[in-house]
Amino acid sequence: MATIMMLIMIGLLLLGFPMMIPLITGAVVGFVMMFDGFGQMGTFVQQMMGGIRPASLIAVPMFILAADIMTRGQSADRLINMVMAFIGHVKGGLAISTATSCTLFGAVSGSTQATVVAVGSPLRPKLLKAGYSDPFSLALIINSSDIAFLIPPSIGFIIYGVISETSIAELFIAGIGPGLMILIMFSIYCLIYARVNNLPTEEKSTWSQRAVAMREALWPLFFPVIIVGGIYGGIFSPTEAAAVCVLYAFLLEFVVFRSLKLADIYRIAKSTGLITAVVFILVAVGTGFSWIISFAQIPQAILDAVGISDMGPIGVMITICIAFFIACMFVDPIVVILVLTPIFAPAIEASGIDPVLVGVLITLQVAIGSATPPFGCDIFTAIAIFKRPYLEVIRGTPPFVIMLIAAAGLLIAFPQIALFLRDLAFR
Q: Comparing C-alpha atoms, which of 249, 244, 282, 281 is closest to residue 265?
A: 249
Tens digits of pLDDT across the chain (427 residues): 667 877 887 788 778 777 678 878 888 888 888 877 777 788 888 888 888 888 888 888 888 888 888 888 888 889 888 998 998 888 899 999 999 998 888 877 777 777 888 888 888 998 998 899 999 999 999 899 888 888 888 888 998 998 898 999 899 999 999 999 999 999 999 999 999 999 888 888 899 999 999 999 999 888 888 887 887 778 888 888 889 989 999 999 999 999 999 889 999 999 889 888 888 887 888 788 778 877 777 766 777 777 777 788 999 999 999 888 888 877 778 888 888 888 888 888 888 999 999 999 999 998 888 788 776 777 877 887 788 888 888 899 999 999 999 999 999 999 999 999 999 888 6
Contact 404, 182 (CB under 8 A): yes
Residues 6+ apart with CB under 8 A from 37: none
Q: Say if residue 266 is exposed, middle or buried (CB neighbours under 10 Å; 0-12, 13-18, 19+).
A: exposed
**pTM of the entire predicted model:** 0.84
Give the count of beta carbons closer than 10 Å to the beta carbon of residue 425. Answer: 18
Domain definitions of the chain by residue range: 54-426
Q: At what angle do helices 313-328 and 398-413 cross, to 10 degrees?
A: 160
Give the count of beta carbons closer than 10 Å to the beta carbon of residue 391. Answer: 9
52: left (phi over 0), alpha (psi -120 to 50) or beta: alpha
| Integer Cα distance of 401 and 243 in angstroms | 34
